[in-house]
């Protein structure tokens, strides 16, 4: 498996660490500039995202497209909270294929989503411990 850091190295902008999958400005605004709240939010989402992905994987194993839709909506809500629009967009495509009863299309997009969701969860985990 590819190391998420290879896929998504931290970047510096004006000496400030940034993220390639999260909209940090949006996240900061949504938490009212409260760094502690942002760290807590990141911690919760870092553990929730793998859960949503695992539940969706189980739903795919049983060809339960209705459950896939539910888990993709949950993932999309988490992504919206931190402005992870790229992950959100692919989750929306998985959900759309599932809604159209297109199991193959949903699985293909889900495979594409797995790596990005993993990277996002890693980023969130890293942000949850930053001071």
* Predicted local distance difference test score (pLDDT) of residue 19: 61
Give the CA-trace dihedral at 47, 53, 54, 55, to 10 degrees.
110
CATH number of 11-125: 1.20.120
Q: What residue segments make up the domains of the chain, in order of their start?
A: 11-125
* Predicted local distance difference test score (pLDDT) of residue 13: 38
Using CA atoms, how far residue 76 sits from 10, 45, 80, 85, 130, in Å, is: 23, 11, 6, 9, 24
Q: 83: alpha, beta or left, given left = phi > 0 and alpha = psi -120 to 50?
A: left
* Predicted local distance difference test score (pLDDT) of residue 131: 59
* pTM for this model (two decimals): 0.80
What lies within 8 Å, CB to CB, of 69 at 6+ separation is 95, 98, 99
Max CA separation in the chain (angstroms):
48
18, β-bridge pairs: 11
Q: What is the pLDDT along the chain (131 residues), one digit of tens a residue?
A: 323 333 333 444 343 444 678 887 778 888 888 888 888 888 999 999 999 999 999 999 999 999 999 999 999 998 888 888 899 999 999 999 999 999 999 999 999 999 999 999 998 888 888 75
């Amino acid at each position: 498996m590819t190391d998420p850091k290879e896929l998504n190295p931290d970047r510096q902008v004006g000496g400030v660490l940034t993220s390639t999958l999260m909209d940090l400005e949006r996240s900061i605004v949504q938490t009212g500039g409260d760094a502690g709240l942002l760290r807590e939010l990141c911690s919760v989402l870092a553990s929730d995202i793998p859960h949503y992905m695992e539940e969706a994987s189980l739903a795919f194993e049983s060809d339960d497209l209705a459950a896939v839709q539910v888990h993709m909506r949950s993932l999309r809500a988490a992504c919206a909270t931190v402005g992870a629009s790229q992950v959100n967009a692919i989750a929306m495509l998985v959900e759309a294929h599932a809604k159209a009863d297109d199991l193959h299309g949903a699985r293909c997009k889900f495979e594409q989503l797995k790596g990005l969701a993993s990277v996002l969860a890693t980023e969130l985990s890293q942000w949850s411990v930053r001071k």
